[in-house]
Structure 1
């Protein structure tokens, strides 16, 4: 995992997730200057809207997994097209209103993650029910979503 978006290691999984969202939103604050030319990174196309969409989708997907597993259920598989698809909406200009929406959406998602993670003991974080990564590992995995924002970069 690439943790270049934080100066120091996060104290808790909740700090890691909220720190990632803070990093994404700091970059997004520069995207109203986007010239409409997508970034081409690792064979894929990235735009400001796509970066926000992918960060949100990743947070939603793994939050749904964590909740299902906590309830003793199998997680519903996601059917995202992920970063392989760039939609017409992804190519739209990124306005101040879009930034405001991204701030609301991603901040609320990060807060849901933080509340959920902070309610878990270290034992629950490290020995999580069901198949898959522990919830601590899952939280650290979602921080890799910073990749999408990093692909667009700082446009100031």
Structure 2
């Protein structure tokens, strides 16, 4: 699959991924104010700060594994778990400063891996990627949509500040 739009062809794929992770981490910085009540989206899914971080991290890891497998000439191992539709007991835990610190560390490192990998690819590799699936450029643009998970929680303000 390819994305033939001019905007997609002109965008540096790594910047799409880092913009997404920056957005997610800006929102996450407000999540220590979460009141423990899960948030529901229009499509019937439930989100919490922990679930949003888990989904962003998983999405980055899943597609990184796909890209690396394809570059190595292997089939990607499909992800059969529908994690976006599942809310685990761990997702319901309070979101603490330590959780925020861990999320920053993990997501920042994943963004760096993506940046390094995407920047090392030639335009030919980005737009005519090996194996089945989206081109690697399109895959990076797809990852840009991972803001959905963080946006489902949104920016939270402490109850005191809301008065």
Aligned residue pair count: 147
- Offset of residue 55 of structure 1: 0.3
Gaps of at least 5 residues in structure 1 are 1-9
Length-normalised TM-score, structure 2? 0.88
- The answer to whether structure 1 residue 112 and structure 2 residue 145 are counterparts is no
Cα shift at 1:142? 1.1
Q: Secondary structure, in 3 states, of the residue corresponding to 1:147?
A: helix
Q: With structure 1 as the length reference, what TM-score do the two structures score? A: 0.92
Residue 18 (str. 1) matches residue 18 (str. 2): yes
Question: What is the aligned partner in structure 2 of residue 35 from structure 1?
Answer: 35
Q: Does 1:132 align with 2:127?
A: no
**Bigger Rg, structure 1 or 2:** 2
By how many angstroms is 1:78 displaced? 1.2
In structure 2, the gaps of 5 or more residues are: 1-9, 158-163
Q: How far apart, in 1, do the equivalents of 2:17 and 2:106 lie?
A: 14
Aligned equivalent of 2:87: 86
Structure 2 distance, partners of 1:139, 1:82, is 20
SS in 1 for 2:146: helix
1:52: how far off?
0.1
Structure 1 vs Structure 2 CA RMSD: 1.0
CA offset digits 1:11-69 (Å, max 9, x no partner): 41000001100000000000000000111002010000000000000000000000000
Instruction: Give the aligned partner of residue 103 of structure 1.
Output: 104
Distance 1:55 1:65 in 2: 16
